[in-house]
Structure 1
Amino acid sequence: MLNNKVTKAVRLAIAFGAASAALTSVNVAAEEQKEGAEAVERIQVTGSRIKRTDIETSSPITVMTAEEIKFSGYDRVEDILNQLPQIEAAETSFLANGATGTATLDLRGLGSNRTLVLINGRRMQAGSITSQVPDVNQIPASLIQRVEVLTGGAGAVYGADAVAGVVNFVMNDEFEGLAFNVGASGYQHNNDNKYIQDLMDKRGYDYETGSTGIDGRSYTIDMTIGSDFADGKGHAVAYAVWRRNEELLQGSRDYASCALSAAGTACGGSGTTPNPHFDIFPVVDGEVDYTQEYWGYLDPSGNGFKEDDGYRYNFAPVNHFMRPNERFSVGSFVKYEIDEHFRPYLEFSLMHNRTAGQIAESGTFFNEEFLMDYNNPLMSDLQKQQLQEFFGQSSADQFVMYIGKRNVEGGARADNLEHTSYRILTGMEGEINDTWSYDVSYNYSATTSSSVYINDLLAPKIGPRVGAVGTECEGDCLYYNVFTLGGVTKEQADQLAGVGTQTGLVTQVIYNGYVTGELDFTLPTADAPVAMVIGLERRELNYERISDTVYAEGQLLGQGGPSPSLFGEINVNDLFTEFQIPVTDGLNANLAARWSDYSTSGSDTTYSLGLDYTIADAYMLRASFAKAVRAPNVGELFGAQNIGLWSGDDPCAGPSPTYTAEQCARTGMTAAQYGNVTKSPAAQYNQFAGGNPNLQPEEAETITLGIVANPFENFNFSVDYFNIEMEKVVGTVGASRILKNCIETGDAFFCDNVKRSPSGSLWLGQEGYITNLSDNIGGRHWRGIDATVGYKMDLENATLSFDLNGFYSMKKEVEPILGDAALAYDCSGVVSTDCFTTPKWRHTFKADYTADGWRVGMKWRFFGSVDYDGTADTLLVENGGLDSFSFIDLSGSYSLNERVTLNGGVNNIFDKEPPMVGSTIASNANTVAGFYDTLGRFLHFSVNMKF
C-alpha cells in the first residue's frame, strides 16, 4: 500500500513539470528505509525538515528548473526570478540613483525584507552595508539545480523574515564530470519613439535615432567539476564563475533621453542648471521677506538676470540605465560518509562584485540659504541694479539667495560599490537508529563592502566662494563665479569636489541542530506512524557601517543629507518542532511551532497547521494556516534620523495648486504663499527619516487553500488561494501620503509632521521637510490566486509541452494607521506614488518542442493593465493608467554531440518598449525599471561543454 502511494505521488509530481511544487522537489534530500524487501524513498521538501514519502505539501511551492533558467538566457539571478508572476522587481542592475549594488527578491510585493532567501535550505546573510536583505549576486546561476518558491508563511520552520514566503536555491551538489560554459548576450533597440522625440525637439535636446546595434553586452565563463572520491564514500563539487557586463546610459534610448515632467507630457529636468538658477528673497528690517521672490537665471544674452522661463537641465542622458558590473565567484560542496551514523559535509562560497551607479553631475541644489549684500565682488552692476529695482532696495540692503548650479565642469557623479561575500557551512548528519536521524551545523557568513562616492560637491566650501556675507575666500581659494555666463572653470569646480567613503562588515553566525524521525505511534485510521522534528537554533547578527566625516556630516551636496555610521547587533535563540500526522490513507496533517527569543524585542511564538488530502489518486486538496513574525532589522532599529529626499509632488506648490488655500493652510502654507511657492523642478522634496529603537516585531497570519489535480494522463493543474494579513507593520506612512492626508483631513496626526520653510517650500534648503520616521504603522492585507496548468503531448520522436504560471491579485490593501480603515488604500491593479505597479493578472506561458538533440521554445510573458491613482501624471490620467503588455521570447538549443550543446535565443523579439511614466512614478529612466523589459530586445548565446 505504501509503495503504491509513493508511485502515485511521483506520477502526479512528474506530470507537473516546472509548474508545480511537487515536481522537482524530488531529490532535495533522500534516504532509504527498508520495509521488507522494498526500498521507500523519503524526501525533504522546502517548507519542512521532515523527510516524507510523498512530494506535494499543504503549502504551495512554485519551482523553476535549471533547464528553464538556462533557456531564459539571463545570467543575473534577479532577472531570472523576476520572470515569475509571484515576484516583483526589487534591487536590480537597472537602478542607479541610490542603488545598493546588490540584487534582491521581493515575493508578493510585500518587500524584500519579508522574503526569506535560502541556499540548500539555509538562510543567507545581509548583502551589504546599505542593504539588510540577502544579495542573490552570491548565487552562481549556472550551478542552480532548481529554485523552489514557497508562497505560504514558513516562519515556524525557518524563523523570522518568511512573512511572504521562502525562495530556496537548491544547488547541484551531486554534479559529476567537468562542465565548461561560455556565454554572451546584449540588447538591441530601434529608437523610433515619436512621442518623446517630439518632446525633445521642442526642448532642443539631442537624442539617438535608429538601431542601437548590440549594446549592454555581458560575458560569462563558468566551470564546474565534480566527482566521487574515497571509493564512493565522498563526493565533491567545485565551481568558478566570472561575469562582466558593460554599462548603458539613458542617452542610448530615445524614450529615456530626457526626464519626463511629473505630468509626463513634457521633457522636464532640473532647476539646478549649467547656467545657474537663483531663488532670491529680500531682507527687510533684519528679516527675510519670503513674500517677495525672484526666481531666475543668467540671461543667455549677457544682460544680467532673466526671470525663469522654464529653462531646465536635461540630466537624463548621463545617468546609468544599466550599471556596469564585474563579478567573480568560487565555491565547493563536499560530503563524506564515514559510516551511516556520521556523514560530515562542507559548503564554501566566495563572491567579489564591483559595480558603479552613475548619475548626473553634482551641483549646489539650492541646498543652503546664503546671506548676500550688494558689495558682492562677483555680481555685475547690472545684476545688482536689477535686484534693487525688483525688491525696491538700495545698495546698503541685503538679500538671501539659494543657488542651483550644475557641476558640468566636474563630470558625472558615481557611487563605486564593491562587495565581497563569503559563506562557510560545516556540519554532520547521520542515522541514530532505524527511524531517527540528526543534523548539526555551523554556518558563518559575512559581507564586506564599500561605497566610494566621487565627483560630488562639498557644501561647506560653497559660501566663501560665492561671496556670502560672513565668509572669506583666502589663500589659494578660487571664487566660484556663478554670476558670469561660462564663468566657472574646471579649476574652480575641482576645489569644491569631494569624496565620501563608507565601509563595513555584516556577519551572521548560525548554530543549528535537530533530530527527526518516526514516533512509535500510529493513529488507528492510518497505516504510517507520526513523524516529527525537534531542534535548536541560535543566530548572531552583527552589522557595522563606518562613514567618514564627509558622509557622516552630510557634506556632499548630492546625497540629500547625512549618512552617519551605523552599528547594531541582534541575537536570536530558537526552539522549533514539526509533526507530520497521517490521519487516514490520503489525509495528512502537518504542524509546526517555533519559540524565538530576540535580544532586541523579547520572545515570540510562531506556528502553522497544514492539511493535504488525496482523492482518487489524481486530486489533492490542501490548506494551511500560519502565524509568522518579522523582527525589525538593524537599520530599522538603529538607523540615524536625518533629512533626505523623497520623490513626488507638493500639490500646494506652483502657480495653480491642486488644493484650495484653506486646505493648503493645514500644511503651514500662508495665504501670501499660496500660488507663489515654486515646485521642485526635479520632483524631489525633503523628509526627516530614520530608525526607531522602540520598534516591535511585525505579526502576520497566512491562509492558503488549493487543489492539485492530474485528471488525465499528461495534463495537470493547480489553483491556490492565499490570504495574508499583517499588523504592526514596520515601515513609514510615506511622505507623500502624510502630506496628502494632512491636506484632505486636517488631522493633526499628519499635519504635525509637515514643516514648511519660511518661504513655504518643502525642498529649498533643509528647513522645510516632512517627518516620516519608521514605526509600527499599520496593517497589510494581501489576497490572490496562483494558478498553474501543464500539458504534454508525445509525438513521433518528439515531445510538445505547454505550461502556464499565473497570478491574480485580488487585494493589496495598505492601512497606514492600524485601525483607521478610512485611510486604507488598495494597490491591486494600481500604480501611484504609494503603490508599486501591480497588474491584477500576470502570467508566463511556455511552449516547448523537443526532439532528438534539439529543442525550440516560446514564452509569452503577460502583464495586465494597471489603473492610475493620482492626478500629477496627466499622461497616465489621459491614458487611464498603463495598458497591458505582452513580451514574446524565443529560444532554442542543439546538441552537436554528447559533449557540446549550443543555446541561444531572443527575448522580447518585437522590441517592445516599457511603458513611460512621469517623474513621480518612475524608478529610473521614465519607467518602472526592472519590472517590464527595460532596454528592448535581448539576444543571448552560449556554448555548454561537458566531459
Structure 2
Amino acid sequence: MYNNSKVAKAIRLAMMFGAGAAAAISAPTFAADAADEGVEEIEKIQVTGSRIKRADMETSSPIHITSAEDMKIAGFTRVEDMLNNLPQLEAASTAFQANGASGRGSLDLRGLGSNRTLVLINGRRMQPGGGSSGAADINAIPAALIKRVEVMTGGGSSVYGSDAIAGVVNFVMDDDFDGFKIDLNASGYQHNNDNAYMQDLMTQKNFDFPTGSSGIDGRTFGIDITAGSDFADGKGHAVAFATWKRTTELRQGARDYSSCALHSSGTRCNGSSTAVIPNFFIAPIDADGNYDYDQEQWVKLTPDSGFSEDRADNVYNYAPINHFMRPDEKFTFGTFLNYEINDTFNPYMELMYMRDQTKAQIAESGTFYADNITLDYDNPLISDVQRQYLTDNFGIGTGDQFGAYIGKRNVEGGPRTSIIQHDSFRIVLGTTGELSDDWTYDTSIQIGSATSADISINDMSRPNVIAAVNGDGKDCATIDGCVPYQVFTYQGVTAEQADSLTAVGQSVAFSDQFIFSAFATGEVDLTVPSADSPIALVIGVEYRKEEYQYVPDQIISLGALTGMGGPSDALEGSFSVAEIYGEVNIPLISDAPMVESLSLDLGYRYSDYDITGGDSTYKVALDWTPIEDWKIRASYNRAVRAPNIGELFAVQSIGLWSGVDNCSGSDPVYSAAQCANSGVTAAQYGNVSASPADQYNSVTGGNPDLTPEIADTYTLGLVGQITDEIDFSVDYWSIEIDEVIGSISEELTIDQCSETGNAAFCDNISRSPTGNLWQGQAGYIQATSINLASRKWEGVDINAAYNTEALGGAISVTLTSTYMMTKEYTPLPGNTEAVYDCSGQFNGNCFPQPEWRSVINANYDLEDFGFNVKLRYYGEVEYDGETDQILIDNGGKIDAQTYIDIAGRYTVSENITLRLGINNVLDKEKPLTGGSLDTGAFYDPLGRYIHAGVSLQF
C-alpha cells in the first residue's frame, strides 16, 4: 500500500530518466481498493535491470527511456537510426554501409561493440541476427509496435547473462494495444551541393560532380498495420502486426563532398591504382624460376600500348558508384497473445518473422594485383613495344618469361553487387501466474533462428583472368569459353571480354537459439526492523544453446574472386550454458531523519559454459532517498562476456583493412632503423609502395583457447526534483574490462613495432619480398582474436526535464548529455607505451570520439497541434596524428557540430494524425577527412532529412 504522494513522486522521478520520457512514459497503473479507503494499491511491474517486480519504476541503475512518440517525431523508419542519436549509443551496422555490409542493424552502447550490448524484447534475450558474433539484428523489431525503449547502462550480466557488459537495450512492445491502426510514412534526403573545396579538387582532376540541389533522393516508403482486441470475454488479448518498408538507393556520386576518393592527406582527389588504363608490376623470372622482386618495376600502359613508369596520376576514382545508402525492402509480421485461464496459469505467446533484402553496390571489380601471373615473352597479347621494353630493361627475349601483377579496373563489366537476404523467426511460449499471494512465476521456451544468404555478382574470377591472359603458357583459345583479355592493349578490353571474366559467389549462414527460462519473484515474511517493506526476492534458472553455421560455395571458400581479399572458409560451431541466478531487494531504513528510504539490491548468477567452464557474476546496488524528491544511487556489477562462435571457431583467413602503413612511400613517417623493426630492409626503405586506396592485407580469425572477458562496472548518481517543473539526474559511470577479446589493430601493430621493436607487435608483421603489405597476398598483418589486456571507459550522463504550461499549451524541454572522460585501450599487459585514449581524439586507431554528445528536445502541445525542436550537439575532436593536413580545411581537428531538427503534428480528428518534419534543417555536411580516416557514424551523412507520415486509428 502506498499513499498518493509516493505515487506522484515515483512517477515524477521515473519521468526524468530519459529525454522525451516525460511525455510518453507508461506510468504504473493503480486502482483503489474498496476495502481500504484513502489508500491506493499500485500494480507491481518488472523494470529493466531487475527481474524483481516493483511498485514503482525507480531503480538503482540509470535507465534512459525513448517512447514510440519520440521515434515518430524524429521521423526515422529504421529503429537503429533513432537510437543511434542517443548520446549513450554509437552506430554499429547501419544502412549507410556498402563495402562489407552485413545487411543487419545493430546497437553499440558506449562504443564497446554490439557484442557487448545485450538486446531484449519484453525483457527476454533477442535471438542472434545471423552473424557469427551473435549480435541481434534489430531490423526484425517492428517499429509500429514499440511502446518504449529502455536503455540501461552499466553491467547487467548478473540479471541477464553474458553480453551485457556495456548495458542492456530493452524493447517494450505494445502487446496490450486495442483497436486498428495504419501508419503511412515517407522520407527522403535533400542537399545543396556547394562544397567549393571539394569541387575545386575534382575540377583539377577533371572528375564529374553534382552541383546545386540534389532534389529529394534516398527515399523511403513504409506501411505499418497493427490490430489488437480482447477475446473470450476479456480473458485473452491478441495483437497482430504487419509492416512493409522500401528504401531506394543513393550513391556517393549524388553528393559533391563524396564524389571523389580523397588522398590520405586530404589535399587532393585520389583513387585506386587498379585503374581503367591498366597499371602493372613487372619483373623477369630469375634462374630459379621465381619472380625477381629485386628488379620489379611499377608501370602503366601508354597510348601506344607500351609501358611507362610515369604512372602517379593513373588512378581510378571509385567513390561515385559506391552506395551511400543501400536499397532495401523489408517485411515483418507477427502476433502477441496472452490468455488468463486462472490466477496460476496465464499462457502467452510472442511470434515475430522478418524478411529483409538489400543490395550493397561498390565500385567495379578489377584484377587488384591479386596474382603473380607468369607470361611468355612471345605471348600474342604482348605488343612489340612492350617486348622491346622488356628486352631493354630486363635483358630477356624470345623463349623467356616474365611475371606480372595486373591492376585493371573492370569498368566494362559494371559495379560489384552483394545481394543480401535475411530471414528471421522468433517464438516464445510461456506462462505466468501466482504461486501465492506474494509470489509469481514466469517460465518460457524461446526458439529463434536467422538465415542470411549473400550472393556476390559481377566480381572477377582469378582463374578466369589468369587463363584469359594466357597464364602458365596456356593458349586461351584451347579453353572452352575463354575470351582473350586484351589488358596489354590500350583501351583494348571489351564488354564481351569482361563478361567472360566474372563469376558468381554465394554463401549462406544459419543461426539458431534455444532458451529455457524459469524464475519466481515475490516477498518473504521478513522485514528489517528499521524498514516498512519486506524483503523481495527472485530466483531463476536458464539454459541457452546457440548454433551457427556459415557455408560458402567453392568460389567463396577458395577466394577465387579478385575483390574478396582472400579465402572465406566454412564455419560451424555451437555452445551451451546452464545458469542459476538470484536477486534480493532489502529495504533497510524507512521514514527516518535524512533517510526517507534506503534499500540494498544484491544479485548473483553462476554460468556453466560447455566450452569455457564456469563463471560468476554479481551486483551490489544502493538506493538512498534522503528527503522526498531526491535520491542517491550507486551500483557495482561484475560482468562477463563469453567468447562468441566467430571468436572461437572462425577459420583464419586473409582480408583487407583500411589505414596507413607508416613505413611506406618515398618519405616514410618512421626512420630506416624504426622501419627495420617492421621488416623493411635498408634497400627497401623509401621504396615500399603505399596502397593508393589505403587498403592492406591482414589475417583474421578465431581462437578456441579464448577465455571470457571480465568487467567491473561502477555507477554513482544523484536524482532530484528541484521544483514541480524541473527534474534532473547526474550519473558517473565506469567500465573496466580485463582479458578483452579482440585483435590488435593493424596500424597500431605497425606503429608500435616501429617505435618499440616489441616482438609482441613485430612478430605479427609479414612483409612481401618488396616490403609492402598489399600487393598480392604475400604481405599481411596477423590480427587474429586473442585475450588482450584491458579497456577502461568512464564518463558522466546528465539528464534534465522541464515541464510547464504556457502560451495556452504544455511546454516540455529535456536534456540528455554524455561527457566521455576516458576511452582508454591497453592492447598488451604491461606495455604502457602502447596505451592510447580515444576520448576527444581522432587518428588511425580512433574514429572521432567527441567528449560531449548532447540532445536538447523541446515540445509545445496545444490541443490538436504539437511542435518539436531538437538540437543535437557533438563536441570538438582533436586529431593527434603526424600531420595537421590530414583533416580538410579545419586546422587539424573536427570542429563541434550542431544539428537542428524540427517536426510538427496535427490531429485532424480522433482517427487521423498528420506528421511533418525536417532533420538537419541547416543542411550541414559531415566533416571531411583524408581517405585513410573514418569519420564514424555520429554525423549526418546525407544532408537534410525530410519526413512525413499519417496515422489512421480506429
User: What is the distance in 1 between the residues matched to 2:275 and 2:683?
Assistant: 28
1:541-566 deviation per Cα after TM superposition (whole angstroms, max 9, x unaligned): 01111111111111111011111111
Residues 13 and 719 in structure 2, CA contact (< 8 A), matched pair in contact too: no
Shift of the alpha carbon at 1:872?
A: 6.6
Does 1:943 find its partner at 2:950?
yes
Partner residue of 1:828? 839
Secondary structure of 1:317's aligned partner: coil
2:490 aligned residue (485, 490, 495): 485
Distance 1:35 1:64, change over 3 A: farther
CA shift, 1:92, in A, is 0.4
Tell me how large the CA RMSD over aligned residues is: 1.8
Q: 1:89 to 1:30 in 2, by over 3 A?
A: farther
After TM superposition, the score normalised by the length of structure 2 is 0.96
Residue 50 (str. 1) matches residue 62 (str. 2): no
Q: Which amino acid aligns with 1:545?
A: Y
Equivalent residue, structure 2, for 1:734: 745
For residues 788-825 of structure 1, give each alpha carbon's deviation from its aligned partner in whole angstroms, at most 9, with x where no partner exists: 11111212530111111000000000000123223110
Q: Residue 911 of structure 1 corresponds to which residue in structure 2?
A: 923
Provide the rounded CA distance (Å) in 2 between the counterparts of 1:520 and 1:20.
39
Equivalences for residues 704-715 of structure 1 within 5 A: 704-715=715-726
What is the CA–CA distance in structure 2 between the aligned matches of 1:83 and 1:39, rounded to whole Å?
37
The offset of 1:28, in angstroms, is 8.0
Q: Contact 1:3 / 1:40 at 8 angstroms: preserved in 2?
A: no
- CA deviations on 1:554-613 (whole Å, 9 max, x unpaired) are 111101111111111110101010000000111011111100011110010000010111
Q: When the two structures are superposed, what TM-score results if normalisation uses the length of structure 1?
A: 0.97
Q: Is the 8 A contact 2:17 2:62 kept in 1?
A: no
The one of 558, 563, 566 aligned to 1:558 = 563
CA deviation map 1:132-177 (0-9, x unaligned): 3100100111211110000011100000000000000101111111
- Overall identity of the aligned pairs, in %: 49
Which of 341, 345, 348 is residue 348 of structure 2 equivalent to?
Answer: 345
Find out whether 1:888 has 2:900 as its counterpart: yes
Correspondence for 2:575 among 570, 575, 591: 570
CA deviation after TM superposition for structure 1 residue 130, in Å = 5.6
Which residue of 2 is the match for residue 861 of structure 1? 872
Letter in 2 for 1:675: G
* 1:764-803 to 2 correspondences below 5 Å: 764-795=775-806, 797-803=808-814
Q: Give 1:902 deviation, angstroms.
A: 0.4
Structure 2 counterpart of 1:454: 457
Deviates more, 1:865-874 or 1:141-150: 865-874
- C-alpha distance in structure 1 between counterparts of 2:82 and 2:519, whole Å: 33
Spell out, residue by residue over 1:363-419, the C-alpha distance to the aligned partner (whole angstroms, 9 max, x if none): 110011122332121111111112322234444543321101111111110110000
Q: Which residue of 2 aligns with 1:371?
A: 374
1:25 deviation in Å?
6.3
Following TM superposition, by how much is the alpha carbon of 1:309 offset from its aligned partner in structure 2, in angstroms?
A: 2.9
Match of residue 761 from structure 1: 772
Correspondent of 2:621 among 610, 632, 636: 610
Task: Name the counterpart of 1:690.
Answer: 701
Contact 2:283 2:404 survives alignment (8 Å): yes
SS at match of 2:760: helix
What amino acid sits opposite 2:251 in the alignment? L
Distance 1:304 1:675, change over 3 A: closer
- Equivalent position of 2:226 in the other structure: 224
Displacement of 1:262 after TM fit? 1.3
Q: Aligned to 1:519, which of 521, 524, 530?
A: 524
Structure 2, unmatched stretches of 5+, are 591-596
Aligned partner of 1:582 in structure 2 is 587
Q: Which amino acid aligns with 2:885?
A: T
Contact 2:133/2:644 (<8 A) preserved: no
SS in structure 1 at match of 2:894 = coil
Please name the residue that 2:10 is paired with: 10
Matched, 1:637 2:648: yes
Q: 1:33 to 1:60 in 2, by over 3 A?
A: farther
Alpha-carbon separation, structure 2, partners of 1:22 and 1:720: 19
Distance in 1, Cα, partners of 2:612 & 2:15: 46
Equivalent in the alignment of 2:325: 322
Offset at residue 695 of structure 1 (A): 0.5
Cα displacement string for residues 648-682 of structure 1 (whole angstroms, at most 9, x for unaligned residues): 11111111111111111111111111111211111
- Which is worse superposed, 450-459 or 796-805? 796-805
Write out aligned runs for 1:713-728 (5 A).
713-728=724-739
CA contact (8 A) 1:277 1:296 kept: yes
- After TM superposition, the structure 1 stretch with the greater mean CA deviation from structure 2, 877-886 or 694-703, is 877-886
Q: Is contact 2:285-2:403 (8 Å) kept?
A: yes
Counterpart residue type for residue 813 of structure 2: F
Q: How far apart in 2 are the matches of 1:682 and 1:873?
A: 21
Q: Do the aligned partners of 2:250 and 2:325 also contact (CA within 8 Å) in 1?
A: yes
3-state DSSP of counterpart to 2:391:
helix
* Distance in 2 of aligned mates of 1:219 and 1:149: 28
Give 3-state SS (helix, strand or coil) of 1:725's partner. strand
- How many angstroms apart in 2 are the aligned matches of 1:636 and 1:902? 47
CA contact (8 A) 2:305 2:383 kept: no
SS of the aligned residue for 1:861 comes to: strand
Match of 1:359 in 2: 362
**Residue 127 of structure 1, aligned match among 129, 141, 147:** 129
Out of 889, 898, 920, the residue aligned to residue 910 of structure 2 is: 898
Residue 714 of structure 2 aligns with which residue?
A: 703
Please give the alpha-carbon distance, in whole angstroms, between the structure 2 residues aligned to 1:694 and 1:879. Answer: 46
CA distance in 2, matches of 1:461, 1:15: 64
SS at match of 2:735: strand
Contact map agreement 2:273 2:315 (CA 8 A) in 1: yes
Q: 2:335: which partner in 1?
A: 332
Shift of 1:126: 1.3
Q: Which string of whole-angstrom CA distances, capped at 9 and with x for unpartnered residues, describes residues 891-934 of structure 1?
A: 00001111101001000011000011122113xxxx43x32101
Matched residue SS, 2:491: coil
Shift of 1:688: 1.2
Structure 1 residues 828 and 883: alpha-carbon distance in aligned structure 2, compared to 1, 3 A threshold: same
Q: Which residue of structure 2 lines up, in the alignment, with residue 920 of structure 1?
A: 932
Cα-to-partner distance string for 1:190-230 (whole Å, 9 max, x where unaligned):
11111111111111101111101001110011111111111
Partner of 1:144: 146
2-structure distance, mates of 1:240, 1:467: 56
Separation in 2, partners of 1:218, 1:475? 47
Tell me: CA distance 1:208–1:723, structure 2 relative to 1, closer, same or farther (3 Å): same
1:463-493 deviations in Å (ceiling 9; x for gaps)? 2221233444214322111000121122222
Query: Is 1:282 paired with 2:284?
Result: yes
Asked whether the 8 Å contact 2:736–2:790 carries over to 1, the reply is: yes
Match of 2:594 in 1: none
Match of 1:162 in 2: 164
Letter in 2 for 1:735: E
Looking at structure 2, the residues matched to 28 and 148 of structure 1 have their Cα atoms a distance apart, in angstroms, of: 15
Over 3 Å counting, the alpha-carbon distance change for 1:305 and 1:517 in structure 2 is same
Give yes or no for contact 2:31–2:41 (8 Å, CA) kept in 1.
Answer: no
Residue-pair matches, total = 942
Separation of aligned partners in 2, 1:709 and 1:531: 25
Q: Which secondary structure does the structure 2 equivalent of 1:879 belong to?
A: coil
Structure 1 residues 34 and 502, CA gap change in structure 2 (3 angstroms)? farther
Q: Which residue of 1 aligns with 2:593?
A: none
Q: CA deviation at 1:759?
A: 1.3
Instruction: Tell me the distance in 1 between the aligned counterparts of 2:847 and 2:792.
Output: 15
* Contact 2:60–2:623 (8 Å) recurs in 1: yes
Partner of residue 77 from structure 2, selected from 51, 55, 75: 75
- Aligned-residue offset at 1:729: 0.4
Counterparts in 2 of 1:603 and 1:873: CA distance versus 1, 3 Å? farther
- Structural mapping, 1:389-428, within 5 Å: 389-428=392-431
Alpha-carbon distance change, 607 to 252 in structure 1, aligned in 2, over 3 angstroms: same
Amino acid at match of 2:247: N
Aligned CA distance change for structure 1 residues 522 and 403 (closer, same or farther; 3 Å): same
8 Å CA contact 2:45–2:53 kept in 1: the answer is yes
**Alpha-carbon contact 2:305-2:488 (below 8 Å) kept:** no
